Amino acid sequence: MNQTHRKQIARKKAQSAVATPDSPLWFRATISFILLSVGLYIILIGQYGANEKQWATGIVGSVFGFWFRR
């Protein structure tokens, strides 16, 4: 197996691990809503520590990044 073929296989595996435009919009929106709800709850409620808020901020940022990517 040559190196070009290995790169093509690795690229296909990486692409299959990401949500694609083929997945239904309602599914992507539902997952995003759930993650945003949990993340914002943890950030805004004030009962959680710094580690939990960092985790929640990362989740919220990831959701925004998913929807605003090019």
pLDDT per position as a tens digit, 13-66: 666 555 556 678 888 899 999 999 999 999 999 899 999 999 999 999 999 999
Buried b (16+ CB within 10 A) or exposed e, 12-28: eeeeeeeeeeeeeeeeb
Query: Is the predicted pLDDT of residue 1 greater than 80, yes or no?
Result: no
Domain definitions of the chain by residue range: 24-70
